[in-house]
Amino acid sequence: MTTLTGIDHLAFITPDITGTIRFYRDLLGLRLEAGVGHDGFRHYFFKLGDGRTQIAFFEYDGAAPMVRKFPGDRTSEPLGYDHVSMRVESREALFDLKDRLEAAGFPVHGAVDHGLFWSVYFYDPNNIPLEATWNFMEVAEAPAIVDDEPVPAAAEGPEPQPGHWPPPARRTPPEAMSAKGGNALPLRRELLAKGRVRFADDLPEDFRAQMAAETAEA
């Protein structure tokens, strides 16, 4: 079974990309990693300190801030998203972030002791609810769950359980593994020409050559 190895990016909407850059890059300290803009549309990416996880934003005419809801509060609205939590490495880092947010005029709730970790809660300029978490406990035996109405499926253990879904009836052969061009496809050619991106070091040589050729033809 293929294992999902982490979050690549979380994508949100903003009516103000400049204010969003000021908050995520200049206040929270995230790296402004990449972006594309055309025809009144922008898509910008900020990278967290783990070097892999990113938070992305779309900006376009008609976009509006989210309706504010505190993390974990119950709602009858048809919402699936609740909040994003970002890790910090120490108690000092947690309170340094709290102090910087409050100095910048952003109210902070907490710290809150959740048993396995401490958290502070705040909102970005788009009313996106955010959490910063300092983990000081480790799970010695998973799943580490306390529930007054235990879920039978959770009691089966932490690993994938076979037999609940059918296997693929067919596998995509390598020669059919292709991708359609998205609206940011021209980004690769322009940024390669400027030396601001490069192909990943672990790419197979045949795929690297194919991508280079397709980029040159684009």
CA dist list (Å): 201 to 109, 131, 137, 159: 43, 34, 35, 31
Question: What is the mean pLDDT, run by run of 10 residues, along the chain of 218 residues?
Answer: 75 93 93 88 91 92 90 87 92 96 97 94 95 92 83 85 89 90 80 89 88 78
Please tell me whether residues 51 and 74 are part of one structural domain.
Answer: no
Rounded to 5 degrees, φ, ψ at 124 are -85, 180
Q: Please report, for the domain that includes residue 102, its CATH number.
A: 3.10.180.10
Q: Indicate the residue among 12, 46, 63 that finishes a domain.
A: 63
Q: What is the pLDDT of residues 106-131, one digit of tens each?
A: 999 999 999 999 999 999 999 999 99
Q: Is residue 121 part of a domain?
A: yes
- Quick one: 123 exposed, middle or buried, by C-beta within 10 A (0-12, 13-18, 19+)? buried
Q: Is residue 149 part of a domain?
A: no
Q: What is the pLDDT of residues 52-63, one digit of tens each?
A: 899 999 999 999
Give me the number of domains the chain comprises.
Answer: 3
pTM for the full model? 0.85
Please tell me whether residues 47 and 97 are part of one structural domain.
Answer: no
Please tell me whether residues 58 and 80 are part of one structural domain.
Answer: no
Please tell me whether residues 70 and 32 are part of one structural domain.
Answer: no
Q: Indicate the residue among 79, 114, 139 that finishes a domain.
A: 139
Please tell me whether residues 134 and 69 are part of one structural domain.
Answer: yes
Tokens of 209: 């050559």
- Nearest Cα neighbor of 91 from 120, 115, 68 is 120
Q: Give the pLDDT of residue 3.
A: 66
Rounded Cα gap, residues 215 and 218, in angstroms: 5
| Parent domain of 114 | 65-139
Q: Give the pLDDT of residue 30.
A: 92
Q: Give the pLDDT of residue 172.
A: 93
Return the beta strands (E) in the chain as ranges: 9-14, 31-38, 41-47, 54-60, 84-88, 109-113, 117-123, 129-135
Whether the CB-CB separation of 123 and 24 falls below 8 Å is answered with no
Q: Give the pLDDT of residue 7.
A: 86
Query: What's the one-letter identity of residue 45?
Result: F
